[in-house]
Structure 1
Amino acid sequence: MHSSITYWKPLPVFAVLLTLTVGLSACDSFVDQQVRSQVSSSYLQTAEGFNAAVNGSYTSLREWYGKEIGGTMTVFGTDTYQQGSDGSWKHYDSYTGQLSPTDGFAEDLWSDMYEGINTTNTVINRSGNIEGLSQDVIDQRVAEAKFIRAHHYFVLVRTYGAVHLTTEETEGVETSATRAPLSDIYDQIVTDLRDAIGVLPVEADQYGRATKPAAEHLLSKVLLARGYSDAAQSSDWADAEGLAETVINSYDFRLLDDFGDVFALDNQQNDEVIWAVQYDQNQLINGGGNNFHLYFLMEYDVRPGMSRNVRDGRPWKRFRPTEFTLDTLMSDRTNDVRWDRSFKDVFVSNNPGTYTCDGVECTIAEGDTALYLPGFEMPQAEQEERDYMVYTPSEYTDKVYPTLTKHLDPNRPTINDPRGSRDFLAMRLAETHLIAAEAELQQGKMGQAADHINNVRVRAARESVSGSEAAMRVSPGEIDLDLILNERGRELLGEMKRWFDLVRTNQLVERVRDHNPFGAPNIQDYHNLRPIPQSQRDRTEGEFPQNPGYGE
């Protein structure tokens, strides 16, 4: 196993990294970039300075993956997740007027991505004649920067549509910006990724650095998305299919035998992971940590037999699964293991005592079951026979609901510390199969699409049930966009894919209206894009048009 990339370094090197991440504070627009402190060009031409700048490029990934902003803008406000009881960003789920050009997350994402882009531009533009590094190493680090730059522009173009496009380093205040044509932005993303593919190694010397398969996976996803857009080229879906097939067939990745093992805490660097954003139990280099363990967790800690603890987590109650997720996507709990491998249905007591459970007295001992969510309507008489609290689907609320387990993190330092250390699995082989299937659907290759979907579904078949593998298979005649979207929802639930999936396929409005009770009354076609931050428009000389629906 290789060592992991160091995103953040302890002082005093940490201060050096900050100076190299030339860019924005949380409230600044990218056109008003202030250099936080000066670093001489000569230092950037040294091996130490150049490598620090490259590592600084990776830091911006941690502002997106595993953070509330990333979950808010991709998880709820969809057909699979709706709002829980808490949080200040529910307008991303309900699509009310608070989702506006002055919204904090819309501004923060814009700033974070352009800060990262400016850092990559610095690396790329200053990569000549680095003292103490071979040209091969320099070329690889530049390819990593191009991978990250492409990633960031892909997030931006799917979120806001046409955005400002620059590949030049910004060193001072700049007030000139325009919205580049969509085709130009996609062309730059594709060019960066093709350049990266030609240079990056198959396996990185440090786990977490960009690799050739990661760039191929990302490019396949970019071309799949472009194929639906106004910038589409005739070969996009065929090229997306080819790249996905390369990742699937040309390397040592594999679907793990057990779906549950993909997110096992002691198995994070597994054969299904193509690329992950790194976090660490060493809090000196963990930054703000992976916070996703906070957001999917029900309020367990005020209920019979329970109190808050590190093992079960700190429940922020942000994201609650929709009825569509529970009753449709996860309806086959006989043949498909993804229900019980994805959700926590039992909480074990750490606060023993005598309580009232379902209307009768119950005595709960340390280590006994305290809370149980069976996932079906258990008769009341049967509930009363249980010496613990039972919550059936009709009793779910915005505080009580099945908890997604993919992101839970019992390795946090203390009960209330939000800094999780799980890696965020940004790319894994199951999604590559589903990208290939969708690209093949769009080309009318239903047999090949069914094969890829069946690879994912058969892996999730319950071995203990006779005939489950056959029950999980789909035929070419069943393949359509709804089936693929449902399979993506089932397999990739809570992994920061869903909002982009629905926007890409032009299904966001229809599916939110059908399956999300909070978003249904308000969502409109213009919500397929987020608002351009007003701060960007205010600080730009000349016109920087707003997206339709968000005013002028």
Structure 2
Amino acid sequence: MPSLKGSLETSTQPETYIAPLIGEAKFIRAMCYFYLVNSFGDVPLVLETNPAITAELPRADTEVVYTQIKTDLLEAIAVLPEDFRSYGGEKIRATTGAAQALLARVYLYMKDWENAEITASEILRKTDLYHLEPDPGKVFLANSQEGILQFVPAFSSSIWMASAFYPSAAPNFVLNDGLTAAFEEGDYRRFAWTIDYNTQGDIYPHSAKYKRTFSNPSAIEYNQVFRVAEQYLIRAEARAQQNNFDEATEDINKIRRRANLDDLRNLNTKEALIAAIEQEKRIEFFCEWGHRWFDLKRWPGRIDPSVSRADEILSEYKGDNWQTTDQLFPIPQASRTTNPNLSQNPGYTN
């Protein structure tokens, strides 16, 4: 990003052209670091382009990285275009809304409940740009009303990608029984977003959020990076944490109504609301960008709040094969060989 900024400063293009490009770069850096810290924990925070400075940086505390993420997003919001229609009517580049969507999530992860609610609400007020897609079957189309930021997938018969994340091939893994059992009766998402394959009499459910495959290349689908449904559930959680139970419940019910489910009522405790949000996010965002995994790691356990919700669930599934240190990936040995100042995550020997 500093290299880009330096190049643009010598450009003859007007500031109205340069500033949004720098904003896009800051957004991309923020998004990359968000996934890095949630996957690996502490990571080097690279803010320079000089390899003499950056080649052997130690890992920065996650809190420091989050502060930089927040700074990048706030600065991006100030200069990015508000309207995706300035990009030819497609939501495939960063806008103010995209940066706000990530920022709302960052505030939530940082337990800044008030700003999480405020930022999500700012997006949800932009109904002329984004709103819930009434039909779940249309959520993942390129022209979805719900998309805030989308990626155009690669599509080539010579390239394999898992269509749970990129709509270019049939999904190669089965949804577990716990997920399929978690769908309530009549939930339209079960019919719109999953498909059952019959293999010699055995039924195997797969993700079908994206239906474009090698044999069906005509579907115009873009990968949904940020969408409106998440903002409702971010706001619901932020409101629940601030004891605003009625409005939190209403945010959850907006998602449930779209799925043809009855409203939830009498959610009069924070614990009941968080449990309802966990259920709704599990169904709404399965096979999307690691939502559930990141949520389970940051939520305290229901039975034992001294451990994470991930510990509670995975220890039940995996027994002694699960260790709390498994919540982070190992630092790749190739990276540690290149940079001797990179320590390894606990639980890994190399």
Quickly name the TM-score band, shorter chain normalised.
Answer: 0.7 to 0.9
Q: Which has the higher relative contact order, 1 or 2, with Cα contacts under 8 A spaced 6 or more apart?
A: 1
Letter in 2 for 1:257: P
Alpha-carbon distance, 1:167 to partner: 1.2
Aligned residue number for residue 508 of structure 1: 310
Alpha-carbon distance, 1:146 to partner: 0.3
Residues 181 and 456 (structure 1), Cα distance of their counterparts in 2 relative to 1, 3 Å cut = same
The CA distance in 2 between the partners of 1:343 and 1:443, in whole Å, is 35
The CA distance in 2 between the partners of 1:186 and 1:493, in whole Å, is 25
Task: Among all aligned residue pairs of Structure 1 and Structure 2, give the percentage whose two residues are the same amino acid.
Answer: 29
Q: 1:355-374 to 2 correspondence within 5 Å?
A: 371=198
* Partner-residue secondary structure (3-state), 1:195: helix
Match of 2:233 among 405, 409, 434: 434
Give the alignment's Cα RMSD to 1 decimal: 2.9
The CA distance in 2 between the partners of 1:149 and 1:287, in whole Å, is 30
* Partner-residue secondary structure (3-state), 2:192: helix
1:493 maps onto 2:295 in alignment: no
Contact preservation (8 Å) 2:43, 2:60 = yes
Aligned residue number for residue 544 of structure 1: 342
Aligned residue number for residue 246 of structure 1: 122
| TM-score computed with the length of structure 2 as normaliser | 0.86
Match of 2:153 among 279, 294, 300: 279
Contact preservation (8 Å) 1:273, 1:428 = yes
String of CA shifts for 1:467-519, please: whole Å, max 9, x gaps. Answer: xx5x34343326332221111011111112221121122311212233x4xx4
Alpha-carbon distance, 1:280 to partner: 5.7
Letter in 1 for 2:28: I
Residues 294 and 472 (structure 1), Cα distance of their counterparts in 2 relative to 1, 3 Å cut = closer
Residues 295 and 247 (structure 1), Cα distance of their counterparts in 2 relative to 1, 3 Å cut = closer
The CA distance in 2 between the partners of 1:486 and 1:296, in whole Å, is 24
Q: 1:451-466 to 2 correspondence within 5 Å?
A: 451-461=250-260
1:326 maps onto 2:180 in alignment: yes
Match of 1:237 among 80, 101, 113: 113
Residues 432 and 287 (structure 1), Cα distance of their counterparts in 2 relative to 1, 3 Å cut = farther
Contact preservation (8 Å) 2:171, 2:206 = no
Contact preservation (8 Å) 1:296, 1:316 = no
| TM-score computed with the length of structure 1 as normaliser | 0.56
* Partner-residue secondary structure (3-state), 1:146: helix
The CA distance in 2 between the partners of 1:187 and 1:530, in whole Å, is 22
* Partner-residue secondary structure (3-state), 1:532: coil
Match of 1:187 among 53, 67, 71: 67
1:127 maps onto 2:8 in alignment: yes
Aligned residue number for residue 209 of structure 1: 93
1:526 maps onto 2:325 in alignment: yes
* Partner-residue secondary structure (3-state), 2:321: coil
Residues 174 and 273 (structure 1), Cα distance of their counterparts in 2 relative to 1, 3 Å cut = closer
* Partner-residue secondary structure (3-state), 2:226: strand
Aligned residue number for residue 142 of structure 2: 268
Where does the alignment leave 5 or more consecutive residues of structure 2 unmatched?
Answer: 300-307
Contact preservation (8 Å) 1:193, 1:216 = yes
* Partner-residue secondary structure (3-state), 1:241: helix
Q: Which consecutive segments of 4 or more residues in structure 1 shift more than 4 A?
A: 170-174, 286-289, 294-297, 313-316
Where does the alignment leave 5 or more consecutive residues of structure 1 unmatched?
Answer: 1-119, 228-235, 298-312, 348-370, 373-388, 462-468
Aligned residue number for residue 30 of structure 1: none
Aligned residue number for residue 218 of structure 1: 102
Match of 1:293 among 151, 158, 163: 163
The CA distance in 1 between the partners of 2:147 and 2:297, in whole Å, is 25
Letter in 2 for 1:248: L
Residues 314 and 187 (structure 1), Cα distance of their counterparts in 2 relative to 1, 3 Å cut = closer
Match of 2:243 among 433, 444, 468: 444
Q: 1:9-88 to 2 correspondence within 5 Å?
A: none
Match of 2:266 among 453, 475, 481: 475
The CA distance in 2 between the partners of 1:247 and 1:279, in whole Å, is 25
Letter in 1 for 2:276: L
The CA distance in 2 between the partners of 1:296 and 1:146, in whole Å, is 24
Residues 251 and 200 (structure 1), Cα distance of their counterparts in 2 relative to 1, 3 Å cut = farther
String of CA shifts for 1:262-311, please: whole Å, max 9, x gaps. Answer: 13xxx422210010112266x6xx9958x2327899xxxxxxxxxxxxxx
Letter in 2 for 1:209: R
Alpha-carbon distance, 1:163 to partner: 0.7
Aligned residue number for residue 18 of structure 2: 138
Match of 2:210 among 391, 395, 407: 407
**Number of equivalent positions:** 333
String of CA shifts for 1:171-202, please: whole Å, max 9, x gaps. Answer: 68954211112222111100000001111111
The CA distance in 1 between the partners of 2:125 and 2:165, in whole Å, is 36
The CA distance in 2 between the partners of 1:257 and 1:507, in whole Å, is 32
Letter in 2 for 1:409: R
Contact preservation (8 Å) 2:164, 2:209 = no
Contact preservation (8 Å) 1:446, 1:476 = yes
Q: Quick check: which has more Rg, 1 or 2?
A: 1
String of CA shifts for 1:10-65, please: whole Å, max 9, x gaps. Answer: xxxxxxxxxxxxxxxxxxxxxxxxxxxxxxxxxxxxxxxxxxxxxxxxxxxxxxxx
Residues 521 and 493 (structure 1), Cα distance of their counterparts in 2 relative to 1, 3 Å cut = same
